[in-house]
């Protein structure tokens, strides 16, 4: 089986600070909400304009909140809120609402685990801080994961890793909610880059460190020794995610540029090994398609892996970022796609309104006239203008094409056309991309 696909950029946003984390809210009725976290290293000021070698750098951060409006053809993502914070290393939404509100967890450079509660709906959404707890002195909180990956409610816990190589198991309590560290232990000799729950058995957690080790832990008692230790990765392990749809399946990634898929019942060797040409900072399983895995691969952009493929596992690549690919996430929002509809423009409109004179969303079945599309790269690497010879732009009406410029066939041997909404961000060029991935899978027996 194989996947034929096309990526389509919807919007590019300058985050000003270096962007390293993006997370779509997974809670129903709030799944148009997107959070983006940033990390900016600021040199200390001096009296004479020269940096002192013994002065510590400041780690600044900013939390952005956006809303995606599927009815807006152009510039569908609008900023709702920005909050100045400590530098953000990782963040994740709880998969279920707490006291009827989505809650965002943040791991920051001050060694704190913070909770933010989302209130309102749509364009009126805002987050507010509700609780914070320090996981240690003189450390950075590097990652976190919620125990709610299978949408189960009790007990709710967070696992957090830090730059001292420790893991902290945190209980989430009350309606506020509040945080309480249940236990903390040394897991790695260097930075513990990543920690994650086994979503099918939340008493088990996984960790990866700069010591190149992948480890599993049983948290029913104070973890003195790991359940297993794998040395299969040759460099620091920096991404782990348990599969929320398939039991005993685990994905890991490393600075060694390899994505490994594991069967937890047999951890001596991985089930598969894919070289993605870049250090794997984040991995995200698709929320409904169990074979699809999104990977943020630092120097080689973003890749979508089809773990069910009998050919190349890389089904698609998104390489429009011009810096380190760090943050990536799938939206749980359902995107409808009709092959008979014209292709909407993949780039932002410049000083144009995507609504009609009556404020209604445009009819995508009708061509739009007198519209000029201008895309300016945030890093000045390329500029693109789309217009016809009269200065008028018409939306594309060609069949959907994959990366090899082949039309997506509509024959019965192919499965239905699917569309997923994706957000990605990159570091030094400080940009957030929101894009759509359209794909079809060939049916068995082709």
> What stretch of H or E contains 273?
strand 272-275
Joined tokens for residue 1: 């089986």
CATH code of the domain occupying 15-44+56-336: 2.130.10.10
User: In the predicted model, is pLDDT for residue 32 greater than 80?
Assistant: yes
Q: What is the torsion angle, in degrees rounded to the nearest 10, for the CA atoms of residue 351, residue 357, residue 361 and residue 367? A: -80
- Structure confidence at residue 54 (pLDDT): 58
Sorting pLDDT into bands at 50, 70 and 90, what band is 46? low
- Structure confidence at residue 174 (pLDDT): 87
**Any residues with CB less than 8 A from the CB of 221 and at least 6 apart, and which?**
none
The length of the chain in residues reads 446
**Any residues with CB less than 8 A from the CB of 8 and at least 6 apart, and which?**
343, 346, 435, 436, 437, 438
The answer to whether residues 398 and 405 touch, using CB atoms and an 8 Å cutoff, is no
Q: 414: which DSSP letter?
A: B
Q: Where along the chain do its domains lie?
A: 15-44+56-336
**Residue given tokens 């609008």 in the structure block:** 78
pLDDT mean over 132-150: 97
The terminus-to-terminus CA distance of the chain in angstroms comes to 8
Which carries the bigger pLDDT value, residue 393 or residue 445? 445
Which carries the bigger pLDDT value, residue 339 or residue 111? 111
User: In the predicted model, is pLDDT for residue 40 greater than 70?
Assistant: yes
| Integer Cα distance of 225 and 187 in angstroms | 9
- Structure confidence at residue 351 (pLDDT): 29
- Structure confidence at residue 224 (pLDDT): 87
Tell me which residue of 235, 219, 237, 239 sits closest to 227, measured CA to CA. Answer: 219
Cβ neighbours around 313 below 10 Å, total:
21
User: In the predicted model, is pLDDT for residue 390 greater than 50?
Assistant: no
| Integer Cα distance of 369 and 367 in angstroms | 7
User: In the predicted model, is pLDDT for residue 170 greater than 50?
Assistant: yes
The model carries a pTM of 0.83
| Integer Cα distance of 336 and 31 in angstroms | 15
Give the highest mean pLDDT range of 268-277, 341-350, 388-397: 268-277
pLDDT mean over 210-227: 94
Q: What is the torsion angle, in degrees rounded to the nearest 10, for the CA atoms of residue 361, residue 366, residue 368 and residue 374? A: 80
Tell me which residue of 368, 373, 372, 316 sits closest to 341, measured CA to CA. Answer: 368
The answer to whether residues 39 and 88 touch, using CB atoms and an 8 Å cutoff, is yes
Sorting pLDDT into bands at 50, 70 and 90, what band is 310? confident
The answer to whether residues 188 and 139 touch, using CB atoms and an 8 Å cutoff, is no
pLDDT mean over 327-338: 83
């Amino acid at each position: 089986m194989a996947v034929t696909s096309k990526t389509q950029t919807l919007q590019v946003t300058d985050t000003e600070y270096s962007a390293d984390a993006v997370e779509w809210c997974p809670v129903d009725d709030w799944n148009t909400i997107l959070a983006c976290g940033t990390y900016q290293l600021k040199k200390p000021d001096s009296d004479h304009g020269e940096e002192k070698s013994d002065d510590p750098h400041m780690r600044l951060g900013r939390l952005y909140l956006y809303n995606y409006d599927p009815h807006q053809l152009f510039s569908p993502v609008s900023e709702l809120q920005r909050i100045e914070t400590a530098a953000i290393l990782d963040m994740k939404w709880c998969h279920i609402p707490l006291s009827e509100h989505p809650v965002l967890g943040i791991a920051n450079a001050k060694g704190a685990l913070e909770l933010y509660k989302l209130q309102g709906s749509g364009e009126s959404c805002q987050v507010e801080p509700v609780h914070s707890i320090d996981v240690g002195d003189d450390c950075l909180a590097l990652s976190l994961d919620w125990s709610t990956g299978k949408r189960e409610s009790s007990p709710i816990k967070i696992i957090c890793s830090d730059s001292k190589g420790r893991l902290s198991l945190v209980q989430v309590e009350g309606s506020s909610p509040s945080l309480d560290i249940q236990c903390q232990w040394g897991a790695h000799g260097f930075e513990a880059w990543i920690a994650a729950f086994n979503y099918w058995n939340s008493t088990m957690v996984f960790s990866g460190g700069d010591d190149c080790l992948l480890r599993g832990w049983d948290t029913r008692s104070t973890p003195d020794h790991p359940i297993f230790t794998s040395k299969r990765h040759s460099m620091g392990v920096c991404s782990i995610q348990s599969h929320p749809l398939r039991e005993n399946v685990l994905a890991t990634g490393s600075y060694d540029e390899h994505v490994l898929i594991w069967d937890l019942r047999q951890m001596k060797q991985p089930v598969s090994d894919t070289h993605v040409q870049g250090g794997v900072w984040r991995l995200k399983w698709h929320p409904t398609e169990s074979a699809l895995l999104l990977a943020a691969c630092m120097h080689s952009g973003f890749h979508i892996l089809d773990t069910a493929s009998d050919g190349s596992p890389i089904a698609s690549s998104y390489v429009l970022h011009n810096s380190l690919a760090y943050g990536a996430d799938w939206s749980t929002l359902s995107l409808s796609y009709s092959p008979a509809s014209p292709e909407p423009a993949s780039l932002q409109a410049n000083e144009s309104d995507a609504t009609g004179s009556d404020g209604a969303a445009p009819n995508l079945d009708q061509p739009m006239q007198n519209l000029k599309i201008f895309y300016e790269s945030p890093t000045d690497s390329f500029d693109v203008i789309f217009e016809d010879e009269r200065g008028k732009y018409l939306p594309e009406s060609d069949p959907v094409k994959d990366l090899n410029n082949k039309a997506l066939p509509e024959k019965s041997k192919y499965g239905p056309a699917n569309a997923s909404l994706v957000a990605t961000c990159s570091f030094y060029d400080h940009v957030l991309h929101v894009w759509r991935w359209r794909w079809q899978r060939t049916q068995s027996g082709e």
